Structure 1
Amino acid sequence: MGIALSIAIPIIVVAAAIMLVAAARRRETMAAEGHLNRETRRRDRGRVAVDGEPVAGPTGREVERAAVVARQSAGTEVVEAVDASVEEWTPPHPEMVGVSRRQFLNRSTVAMMGFGLSGFGAACIAFLWPPFVTGFGADVNVGLVDDVKSRIKDENGFLYIPEGRAWVTEYPQAALQKAQNVYSAPELAGIESGLIALFQKCPHLGCRVPSCLTSQWFECPCHGSRYNQVGEKRGGPAPRGMDRFAMSVNSKGEFIIRTGTIIQGPPIGVNTTGQEPEGPSCLGGASH
């Protein structure tokens, strides 16, 4: 507190001195009186002498005072209007017209507002425009349906698509009628082509579910949940079957996985394919 006062007091004193000096200068200007030296003031008391003879007339100070009085009373004088001929107005050339300070400020304000509104509008459009994404969250084109089935066979029944975090397996045509009674239209769009795309994450606690080539099932190593080749639950603590993606086949016959739409897996008890384990479990122990 003491330091602040010690700084503030000198600042206040200096500001007051500046205000007093400014007021004095203004008063001298209004009175039309300047700073005169001693010799000038002594000579000004008398009359102006020409060739040694004093000339009658007012002193310099009297002239200055008369000028002040005339200036102060000038506003009350009535000046008669002088007749003047009216000339036709000619617009100036655009290159000769300058920009006033007010015009500059007005145009600058309008320009800044325009830039601000443009930026806000661009931000709104960018927010509403669908984002351009690839990989997980977007549509993943796996290829022609026949080519995908061939790749599944080459991978011993399980094709993994890393950019979509998806497993793709074949759906047996013999089970299609049962599937139509269980699955939704976005799922059936892929199932009817003989393919199904499953989300790699276990619905129990989110572990990545690997395939088991010996049993031809999906088997979660975290807590032992098991699913058949189309992701229907066959054992373990999972609350449902493996989640799956919406699927479609385009006009070119290409299988599309819509990874932006995840559909919950079928409830416990759904077994449209009737597939049993084809060999030993990768986790050991019983297969069921």
Structure 2
Amino acid sequence: MSVVIVLALIVLVLGAAGALFAAQRSRDTQRAVGHLARETRSRDTARRREAAAEEEVAPSTGKEVELATAEARRGGSDLVAAPPSAPVQWTPPDEEAMGVTRRQFMNRGIIAGFGLGIGAFAPAALAFLWPQGTSGFGSKISVGNVAELKSEIQQNAGFLYYPEGRMWITEYPASALDNARQVYSPSELAGMEAGLVALYQKCPHLGCRVPECATSQWFECPCHGSQYNRVGEKKGGPAPRGLDRFAMAVEGTTFTVDTGLIIQGPPIGTNTTGQEAEGPNCISGGEAH
């Protein structure tokens, strides 16, 4: 702290010295007077002494000459009154002739530019900081009425894709609920007990989007052949587990999916529904596990 105080004092002293030097230089410049050499001052003093001894008028010194020159340049010390003149009637200036100076134009242009920049930045910042509505992937989505969703699933051959939530919705059979309660969490069971399950579209192997297979009634990944039954439990291929799923809830008759909460799929060997392929597979090469 003491070092900082010393440095601050040094800066203040240097600043004050600089200000005094600048003021002195400015005064000398305005007066057109500088510092005379030592030889000049000695010669002026000697000449004054000689003139005083001979009772003569002392010649002007160099400094007096400079002062006289500066006074003459400023117009002299004697002011001459201007002759009286008749008053001139005032005429308002022409607005078009007045115009603006280059400095005024530049200053106004800079201020206008700053104003436009701030005016454009402020709404963007407010839009960024303003709380966004809860909709789309990463939030809770009200998918629809449970009965209507089951009807849509049946009309789409057992599968319903919901792009807003990046998920598949399929039916979960009521006959498999006892098995499900031994495997799945309450957040998953809330949807299963209503007869629905929401599955994340990405394959847990390498993240490919997994499509449905209408003939086998399974999900079959085209990238590396991983296969899952209709409720997302792994049936074959290199995937390390079943399809991930979302936390689900049923409020009254409305099916709600929290796409911000992804739950890891069931481990290999989980088969609560016992569903086998109901027809030819769309992807060959998936080995059963």
TM-score by length of 2: 0.57
2:29 to 15, 21, 27: 21
Q: What are structure 2's unaligned runs of at least 5 residues?
A: 1-22, 34-63, 65-69, 79-124
What are the within-5 Å matches in structure 2 for residues 116-265 of structure 1? 131-251=132-252, 253-265=253-265
CA contact (8 A) 1:214 1:279 kept: yes
Q: Distance in 2 between matches of 1:39 and 1:203?
A: 98
CA contact (8 A) 2:166 2:201 kept: yes
State the AA in 2 paired with 1:211: E
Q: Distance in 2 between matches of 1:227 and 1:38?
A: 107
In the other structure, the counterpart of 2:119 is none
1:139-159 superposed Cα distances (whole Å, 9 cap, x missing partner)? 222211000000000000000
TM-score by length of 1: 0.57
In the other structure, the counterpart of 1:268 is 268
CA contact (8 A) 2:215 2:280 kept: yes
Rate the CA distance shift 1:131–1:37 in 2: closer, same or farther, 3 A.
closer
1:19-55 superposed Cα distances (whole Å, 9 cap, x missing partner)? 5222559xx9xxxx96598997xxxxxxxxxxxxxxx
Q: Distance in 2 between matches of 1:184 and 1:164?
A: 21
Rate the CA distance shift 1:34–1:233 in 2: closer, same or farther, 3 A.
same
- Runs of 4+ that moved beyond 6 A: 36-40
Q: What are structure 1's unaligned runs of at least 5 residues?
A: 1-14, 41-122
Q: Distance in 2 between matches of 1:283 and 1:264?
A: 24
The percent of aligned pairs where both chains have the same amino acid is 59
Q: Distance in 2 between matches of 1:204 and 1:131?
A: 33
2:238 partner SS: coil
State the AA in 2 paired with 1:258: D
Q: How far 1:286 sits from its partner (Å)?
A: 6.7
State the AA in 1 paired with 2:266: P
Q: Distance in 1 between matches of 2:151 and 2:243?
A: 23
CA contact (8 A) 2:217 2:229 kept: yes
State the AA in 1 paired with 2:268: I
In the other structure, the counterpart of 2:113 is none
Q: Distance in 2 between matches of 1:243 and 1:39?
A: 99
Rate the CA distance shift 1:239–1:130 in 2: closer, same or farther, 3 A.
farther
In the other structure, the counterpart of 1:280 is 280
| Most deviating of 157-166 and 136-145 | 136-145
CA contact (8 A) 1:242 1:266 kept: yes
CA contact (8 A) 1:248 1:257 kept: yes
What are the within-5 Å matches in structure 2 for residues 79-90 of structure 1? none
Q: Distance in 2 between matches of 1:226 and 1:255?
A: 26
Q: How far 1:130 sits from its partner (Å)?
A: 5.0
CA contact (8 A) 1:277 1:287 kept: no
Q: Distance in 2 between matches of 1:240 and 1:167?
A: 17
1:76-110 superposed Cα distances (whole Å, 9 cap, x missing partner)? xxxxxxxxxxxxxxxxxxxxxxxxxxxxxxxxxxx
State the AA in 2 paired with 1:225: S
Q: Distance in 2 between matches of 1:270 and 1:218?
A: 15
Rate the CA distance shift 1:38–1:170 in 2: closer, same or farther, 3 A.
closer
